[in-house]
Structure 1
């Protein structure tokens, strides 16, 4: 498996977390500004953006499509159709939050940060409620097994803990969830790796 991405965490980070936790090996080509401006790689990406993922002769772009492909291949898409649909619903909720976060980081950081953090509890509350409805919040976001959405939710929560370190103080289930997933042995090894620590969160220095 091969991943092309810029030298930052970005939208490829959830894929890295999933692969690491599932004990999968992958190689990665860092896309520099010079490589991207040449245009050849961009033309090879259907929608003109990375991350770009290749599994054998199967090439994908769009981070959520990559996640779903890996989920199907590694048993990370729920136990049945009902769970799969719930996972799609939660993943859409994560995507909504990620879009809001990205707009703040890239469009309105200085002027909008305080207002964003003030409104953040209302954005996090649905995920706390979903956890509470699933085994009392002791396990995963849906069902009894980890799913691709758990990696996606963990990533966006980690980003917000950098932005607002106290943002989970009022959400004990989410706080415990983050700690529990971070402690998974293979995921922990990846999260604490030097390569991961050196990768910027965003490409404009805001976080």
Structure 2
């Protein structure tokens, strides 16, 4: 068993960023193993640890967990970030699935051709403003968190997605006052504030080197 959890992924955001911020919110110190070459990734594949031959993988509690939302739900359950009862968990799951759909449009952007990227920027803004953000804004009209009276996985996941979309559209929350207030509150939570500080474990926006690495290891 590892002394600290170890996140196996590429040296970038992708599907690993939400795992990093969730561990940070839970106050869990963790190590990272980055994969940069086919040889390194092949060695991991041959270890038998990857159930579906994909990363991210989180080694925690003697387990090798794969599939990002399965990993996130384990962290949420372990560290009391998953609602207080079955009904609340159902709503956490619904918000998470919606956020996943939106975040996928952000992550997709980096792997498109230059001619397709501008269209994708517009599409993610349209989806955010007309499908997802109105739902979250309404949910936060009269309460601090999306579900119940305490922080959950749904809040952390939404914050991460908001921050990533704002890098493309800085004013995207201008018509969503409750989401603006939510973002401000969330960013003042000590563990989140620490995580977001320069020099922390938060990764920068994907660059060409990150994209080339992912393409070489996953798609070739």
TM over 0.5: yes
- Of 17, 21, 41 in structure 2, the residue corresponding to residue 17 of structure 1 is 21
| Larger fraction in helix | 1
Superposed, 1:1-207 pairs within 5 Å as 1-36=5-40, 38-43=41-46, 44-107=49-112, 108-123=116-131, 124-132=133-141, 136-137=142-143, 139-196=144-201, 199-204=203-208
CA gap 1:153/1:119 in 2 versus in 1, 3 angstroms = closer
Shift in alpha-carbon separation, 1:22–1:110, aligned structure 2, 3 A: same
Q: SS where residue 145 of structure 1 aligns?
A: coil
Change (3 A) 1:64 1:119: closer
Change (3 A) 1:83 1:34: same
How many residues in Structure 1 have an aligned counterpart in Structure 2? 200
Render the CA deviation track for 1:60-118: whole Å, top value 9, x for unaligned.
11111111001111111101110011111111111111222233332331343234434
Q: Structure 1 CA distance, aligned partners of 2:91 and 2:62?
A: 30
What CA distance in whole angstroms lies between the structure 1 residues aligned with 2:65 and 2:165?
A: 28
Say if 2:102 and 2:124, in contact at 8 Å, map to a contact too. no
**Higher mean C-alpha deviation, range 48-57 or range 81-90:** 48-57
Contact 2:7 2:33 in 1 (8 A): yes
Unaligned runs of 5+ in 1: none
1:148-199 CA distances to partner (integer Å, 9 max, x unpaired)? 11111111111011110000011011111111111111211111041436x3
Q: Is the 8 A contact 2:194 2:200 kept in 1?
A: no
**Cα distance per residue 1:18-45 (max 9 Å; x no partner):** 2112211111112213445x51213532
TM-score, normalising length: structure 1: 0.87
TM-score of the superposition, structure 2-length normalised?
0.83
